[in-house]
Structure 1
Amino acid sequence: MNKLSILIAHYNNGKYFLECYNSIINQTYKNWEVIIVDDASTDNSIKIIEKIINKDDRFKLYKNSSNKGCGFTKKECMNYATGEICAYLDPDDALFPIALEISVKQYLSDNELVATHSKMMMCDENLRLQKTFSTAKKIVNDRYFFNCPIQLVHFFTFKREVYFKTKGIDPNLKNAVDQDLYLKILEFGKVSFINEDLYKYRLHSTGISQQSSKQSAKESFAKVIHEAMKRRRLKKIHYKDVPDQYTNAEEIYKLVNYQTKPLFRIINKLKLIFR
């Protein structure tokens, strides 16, 4: 039975961790470990987490010597993971009870699978369910897929052995870290879409997505997309030249803007139907 490593990059989210913890220990699938790497939290989070996990040896807590940022911390999580399958879970979010079981089953039915993704439920600050994130869907995974517009979200699981075939998460990234991971993993094989809500995503005022750093996130995502284009040795995108060097976000988004058009979406739907 495959072991699944749940990876938690933590910073100052101790007050939300109990719900995250409870969602893990209540999983229907039991062969898991949890790797937590704290990025030099400045509040009392470490004490809270240590009290919650107590002496449960399924939970491993590590600490960065200083604040390194999201990319570094998520990359560090992978250095401690031992499971055949890995998945990131933010400490202020939670999983539905069947999330691990239904994800692992996908790999048992298809050896060529390198990753899975699902729908996710948007929640308020108290983790009360609100609505399903509407754009998550099955994707056409080819060398022109850049997840722009967003279609692939949490809950994302992937094979550990495949991760180490890539260069890994860019440790210098502060934003778009998950997007960097998705695009790198998907270059190595098939991905399965689970048409169910497996992940509870908490919206709150201190979350990265709600901060005034949206422009920075947009820039980071554009850089991730450009790096994927270069990695895939693409010279042109939709009859337009791919720049050798990254200069600005708008230049990159203009290259992939055709993927938001109705005709492109119709063609993709037909591809998925007739595959």
Structure 2
Amino acid sequence: MEVRVSVCIPCYNAENYILETLQSLLNQTYKNFEIIVIDDGSEDNSIEKIESMILKDKRIHLYKNNNNRGVAFTRNRAFELCNAEYIAYMDADDTAPPNRLELQVNFLDSHLNIDGVGGSYNIINEKGEFIQKVIMTAQSPEMIKATLLFRNCIANGSVMLRKRVIDEEQIRYDEEKKDLEDYDFWVRFVKNHNFINLSNILQNYRVTQESLSRKCANCEGNLRDQRFDDIHRYVLKERGYLLPAKEEQVYFCATRENGHISGLAEYFLLRRALWRINKFTSQKYPELRKAVLFRSRELYQEQKYQMLSSFFSKLRGKNKIY
């Protein structure tokens, strides 16, 4: 039987979790898949753990990078190694609910106008204990395209997509967008293809001390903000939104991670920028009008709250008696 799903797993120093990750895939109710694991220069016993699982199940295939190349390079390499109709993503420290692959294969088989499907997820700790459920509020293709104007709304480790899209259009992860390569990839993917998020839990996302440390390291300086700006600049240009320079800069500030505007003047510039975006959306993308309006109002209210909170905090500080 021809394999229909390739599950791609970049692995780097995941010896504590990779066995559990692989076992969660072997426990899937859907069986017609292969597992492509690419070790990205691990310095622990990850390779030995993976090889022990290969002895149990020949659907697991191990490849190795010559040295540590990063997750974007490794995912791009996985695209070249996959042989199946569908590509599913997994991270080496996460796990998948038993029905994940079955749900996604059935969905893509019955919705030929959809080229990618993700879902909601649980956050778990290092021991695999439940912390929090995250339901993706952006579910329809229209709401996803609208939300990507402002932030990422796709849980990468929950995704399955059609391989032909990757082959035909050569969509790849950008190694220059380090730690935001997922966001950049999905912005480009939805340019010509429909993506949908299911409300079903499709991923158990593990938060570890190592992952938190890497995230903090990646956030140093202004590089992360610059990468956010580059992605949002691309979105505006690709979709034809033209904003005056000052309005564009305020839009960038508001749409960064933990972004905020600093005063009343910027608040009114943001309001004007969002008005232009909504007006243009109504003219060129009427199918996105309601979704973009909803996300614009959401951002507007968030920034308004932050601005007022900052103002009153400073006011209390001035009036404080010592």
Q: Same fold by TM (over 0.5)?
A: yes
Instruction: Find the aligned partners of 1:62 and 1:243 in 2 and give their Cα distance.
Output: 47
Letter of the aligned partner of 1:151 in structure 2? Answer: C
Which residue of structure 2 lines up, in the alignment, with residue 234 of structure 1? 240
1:146 aligned partner? 148
Distance 2:228 2:159 in 1: 18
Query: What corresponds to 1:159 in structure 2?
Result: 162
Q: CA deviation at 1:162?
A: 0.6
Q: Which amino acid aligns with 1:199?
A: Q
1:242/1:9 Cα in 2 relative to 1: closer, same or farther (>3 Å)? farther
Look up the match of 1:74. Answer: 75
CA distance in 2, matches of 1:19, 1:217: 32
Alignment of 1:39-78 (within 5 A): 39-54=40-55, 56-78=57-79
Question: 3-state SS of the aligned residue for 2:210?
Answer: coil
Give the aligned partner of residue 268 of structure 1: 291
- The amino acid that maps onto 1:9 is P
Residues 26-45 of structure 1 mapped to structure 2, 5 A cutoff: 26-45=27-46
Q: Alignment length, in residue pairs?
A: 262
Q: Which of 184, 190, 199 is the aligned partner of 1:186?
A: 190
Give the secondary structure class of the aligned counterpart of 2:121. strand
Q: Is the 8 A contact 2:121 2:133 kept in 1?
A: yes
Q: What's 1:177 paired with?
A: 181
The CA distance in 2 between the partners of 1:222 and 1:156, in whole Å, is 25
Q: For each residue in 1:102-144, what CA deviation from the matched residue of structure 2 results, as whole angstroms up to 9, or x when unmatched?
A: 0111112121111111101111111112221255431425765
Which residue identity is paired with 1:220?
R
* Amino acid aligned to 2:184: D
Q: What secondary structure does 1:173 align onto?
A: coil
Corresponding letter in the other structure for 1:39? D
Higher strand share: 1
What 5-or-longer segments of structure 1 have no aligned partner?
Answer: none
The Cα of 1:181 is off from its aligned counterpart by 2.4
The answer to which structure has the higher helix fraction is 2
Structure 1 residue 252: Cα displacement: 6.5
Asked if the contact 1:39–1:64 (Cα under 8 Å) also holds between the matched residues in 2, the reply is: yes
Residue 169 to residue 57, structure 1, CA distance change in 2 (3 Å): same
Decide whether the 8 Å contact of 1:235 with 1:242 is kept in 2. Answer: no
Distance 1:74 1:223 in 2: 21
SS for the counterpart of 1:15 is coil
Tell me the residue number matched to 2:232.
225
Following superposition, the deviation at residue 221 of structure 1 comes to 3.7
RMSD: 3.4
Query: Which residue in 1 is equivalent to 2:113?
Result: 112
SS at match of 1:181: helix
Larger-gyration structure (1/2): 2
Q: Separation in 1 of the partners of 2:210 and 2:53?
A: 22
**Higher RCO, Cα 8 Å, sep 6+:** 1
Q: How far off its partner does 1:223 sit? A: 2.6
- Deviation >6 Å, runs of 4+: 254-257
- Deviation (angstroms), 1:99: 0.5
Letter of the aligned partner of 1:89 in structure 2? M
Cα contact 1:86–1:159 (8 A) shared by 2: yes
